[in-house]
Structure 1
């Protein structure tokens, strides 16, 4: 069975939470191997502490860019390199980002489609999003795609399936996932993984309890089914 990763985001409403350094310890004790945060919400030195803690524990570190303007996005990309994270998710200025990360080990998963607002929303119909995904995935420096399937109008499972069928690179599904049904749809559609932040931190994912420990256990179990 292909690998299907649960990426726990230390974020709420597209911002890294103030108590991320506490939550990361809970996640590490739970055996979570993929942990991320957003490019906004905490000062750089605290993000650096987060990244070091994640990597020192042997987990993979992710940063997701939700800044919409070009200058902010490029600053965040440079910060990602300084932070030493393993994966750069999100962002839309692919042609500007690729020269910055060329020759580095950073794995880059930008957003396909048209992104607006904060929290980020994926706009457009399925055909236009698929076309964007195909174009972006052709770049040699793009490792995969970060698909905001559950922040798009229309049929999210169908969109996931269409994108995964159209590109040969891995797709991570993101955007307000809060149910086992959505996790199963991401896996069935061919995705390589999915992100959850807010619903776990707020105790909204169906589980034996609302504690973060119970939430992470339930989400991890859902990812294995």
Structure 2
């Protein structure tokens, strides 16, 4: 991502939705150029078709990892490499992932902090999360960070600002973004962008209509005015 923007995630409850291809087509027609999915919810062949659909339209693809154990996370990264996505978001085991990504063009944005459960929750104090962010950003192979700010229990605006200030690498805010004021907070904190999935798919973002096309246009308008 080269400027403040959002990634439309074809996901609900941390799983890729079964009708992801139809929603991706709606998003592409709406001019969305950052589209992501999770490594669970669809068979691998269907994820491959989705990746080709996104790339074929000239958009960037993002795979967000929500695996909770080392073996599953490594399996997810290998799937992302085989799919040839542009970005990997999430995951917590940089020391295991970075060797796998050597020689690829994939940009890697892991989760800082302690991430647990499905849907994923960010645990720990702000100081602990910032410390984790700095350590991760210190790896040359880490391109940026995927911060679950709105799934933490602390002061979200302070957390975003603190992580962005300390990490010195792009930060994407992921999870539970569904209002314009949150987008303003994310932008004001210095983040490079954010993800939205469920709120748009379920028609919950404030817009002229709950239809996905109108939801995405409303989010784009917030990005443009923020």
TM-score band w.r.t. shorter chain = over 0.9
CA offsets, 1:139-170, max 9 Å, x none?
00000000000000011111000000001110
- Please give the alpha-carbon distance, in whole angstroms, between the structure 2 residues aligned to 1:42 and 1:73: 16
Report what 1:29 is aligned to.
29
Paired residue secondary structure (1:223): helix
- Please give the alpha-carbon distance, in whole angstroms, between the structure 2 residues aligned to 1:78 and 1:9: 20
Cα displacement (A) at 1:215: 0.3
Report what 2:102 is aligned to.
102
Report what 2:63 is aligned to.
63
- Please give the alpha-carbon distance, in whole angstroms, between the structure 1 residues aligned to 2:14 and 2:152: 16
- Please give the alpha-carbon distance, in whole angstroms, between the structure 1 residues aligned to 2:157 and 2:223: 16
Asked if residue 163 in structure 1 is aligned to residue 166 in structure 2, the reply is: no
Cα displacement (A) at 1:3: 1.3
* Alignment size in residue pairs: 224
- Please give the alpha-carbon distance, in whole angstroms, between the structure 2 residues aligned to 1:100 and 1:167: 23
Paired residue secondary structure (2:141): coil
Paired residue secondary structure (1:85): coil
- Please give the alpha-carbon distance, in whole angstroms, between the structure 1 residues aligned to 2:74 and 2:98: 10
TM-score, normalising length: structure 1: 0.99
- Please give the alpha-carbon distance, in whole angstroms, between the structure 2 residues aligned to 1:5 and 1:52: 22
Matches within 5 A, 1:106-117: 106-117=106-117
- Please give the alpha-carbon distance, in whole angstroms, between the structure 2 residues aligned to 1:156 and 1:38: 24
Report what 2:190 is aligned to.
190
Report what 2:78 is aligned to.
78
Say what the alpha-carbon RMSD is for the aligned residues: 0.7
Cα displacement (A) at 1:103: 1.5
TM-score, normalising length: structure 2: 0.98
Report what 1:206 is aligned to.
206
